Structure 1
Amino acid sequence: MAKWGQGDPRWIVEEREDGTNVNNWHWTERDATVWSKGKLRELLVGIAMENETGRCEISELKQVEGEASCSSRKGKLIFFYEWNIKLAWKGTIKESGAKHKGLVEIPSLSEENEVDDTEVNVSKKKGDGDTLKDLMKTTGTAKVRAALAEYLKALKTEFTTGMILPTKAVATQDLTVERKVTGNTLQVQASPVALGVRIPTVALHLTELFDTTVEQLYSIFTVKDLVQKFSKSPAVLEAEKGGKFQMFDGNITGEYVELLTNRKIIMKWRCRSWPEEHYATVALNFVPAPGQTELQLDCKGVPVCKEENTKLCWQKQHFEEIKGAIISQA
């Protein structure tokens, strides 16, 4: 048996505030399906091509069926994706001004094939316009494959930010992440530098109406007993500028930045599963309405890969539970 402090470091559980996958040794998995659908729409819709006879454009993402995920094990990222994609295209013949429509179908985009070998089928509705179809089959197909390659690049870099965490030895240093893609596996190496890791983020804006007064709704976010009631779990709350808060058994933590009584709360806010020490900025505005209060939430700095989870956290764990607590008090 190894002496204390001399064991294989891969099996040593270090002290971490988030308690997450120390030394990146354990298997973790992240669902990339929702993120991928949004990314594919962003990259594919609007692709345009033009020659001397006409102009064509991808006008709509009609169908995207399938799934994508990323798994981490022993410091390596492994990707799975399988998509059936159907796009609509439209075009105009320059000389006659005639307009034509058709479809672009990608029956199988998966990790089993290279993007350049991915099947892309172009069809057109009945009638003339074969010159536009030819334009789509040549230039259009090349541009679609280029967009698919951009999606895979983003999946293997942008989406995976935060999956490979620094160990305790480098936790206090800023990191840069070097990503080397080989086939379907991404090897990630971290090295100390001055600039640090930049996490791609998005902003959320949500509004919700509550059947209560501004004063009562404001109290639900600032009074410990009321927070514990809607969250159904112990909470730590210091409702003052610079004060800390912790709720949902430590899954949500942060700090109050500004409190304007019954008007506005600004706070640093994070989920335990987010990259370590990364916080979003949340602003809650309390707007009186006849017999109700409108809550306007602006959340900036949400990691891209956590957008949907964060939205559900506010809608389900906060808004719905608060409404239930209000009804029980009535």
Structure 2
Amino acid sequence: MSNWKNVNNWHWVDKNCLPWAKNYFQDKFIGMQVESAGHTVSISGMDECTGDVEICQRKGKIITIYDVAVKYSWKGVAADGTEAAGTLQYFEVAHDVEADEMEFKVTVKEEDTLKRTLRDIVKKELVPLVTGQLVQFRTDLVQAHGTDVHIPADQLGQAAPARESTPVAK
């Protein structure tokens, strides 16, 4: 018996995964923290997540198509107890953007020398952790939703038997 849903995984199938991605971007990043020279900075919240996230299948291949912008709030405490806060924004997290091509912006509220130090820790130490997890996003997306659009080979079944032709009456 053949697989009637999508014979040999040939036809285009897609699934919107933006709601899942929003949860992913919260769960994986909020609480991410680094310490440096007695200073601590961490991601405290997700302010926005917009764009598109889809997982697709065509001709037996799983394809990820996504382009999102995310903006996080961060908080920091300097070694002397001074607190700071700001934002970390990624403008384009996309299926065709490599880690070293990701553009981001780090801001700090009420900037002064010590708060600028905390902002620099976010840039130099927290951003590489976030970027690394953003690179992992594609793999996690496929792992979480790949079977929703792609039928594993062992479940495809057999092709339908060929039908015998019937002689045409003359």
> Normalised by the size of structure 2, how large is the TM-score?
0.84
Contact between 1:53 and 1:131, CA under 8 Å: does it hold in 2?
no
The CA deviation at 1:115 is: 2.4
Identify which of 142, 148, 151 aligns with 2:128. 142
| Partner SS, residue 141 of structure 1 | helix
| Amino-acid identity (%) | 26
Greater share of residues in helix:
2
Identify which of 54, 64, 69 aligns with 1:84. 69
**RCO higher in 1 or 2 (8 Å CA, sep ≥ 6)?**
2
* Structure 2 stretches lacking a partner, 5+ long: 159-170
Aligned to 2:106: 122
**Equivalence map 1:30-179=2 (5 Å):** 30-94=15-79, 96-128=80-112, 129-165=115-151, 166-169=155-158
Q: Deviations over 1:137-175 (max 9, x none)?
A: 001110110121222220122221243213104xxxxxx
Contact between 1:109 and 1:115, CA under 8 Å: does it hold in 2?
no
* Structure 1 stretches lacking a partner, 5+ long: 1-13, 170-330
Amino acid at match of 2:129: K
> Normalised by the size of structure 1, how large is the TM-score?
0.45
Whole-Å separation in 2 of the counterparts to 1:150 and 1:35: 15
Amino acid at match of 1:108: E
Whole-Å separation in 1 of the counterparts to 2:110 and 2:40: 18
Whole-Å separation in 1 of the counterparts to 2:67 and 2:31: 23
| Partner SS, residue 149 of structure 2 | coil
Whole-Å separation in 1 of the counterparts to 2:75 and 2:97: 28
Whole-Å separation in 1 of the counterparts to 2:59 and 2:141: 19
Q: CA RMSD in A?
A: 1.4
Structure with bigger gyration radius: 1
Amino acid at match of 1:168: G
Amino acid at match of 2:97: N
Distance 1:131 1:53, change over 3 A: farther
Aligned residues: 153
Aligned to 1:287: none
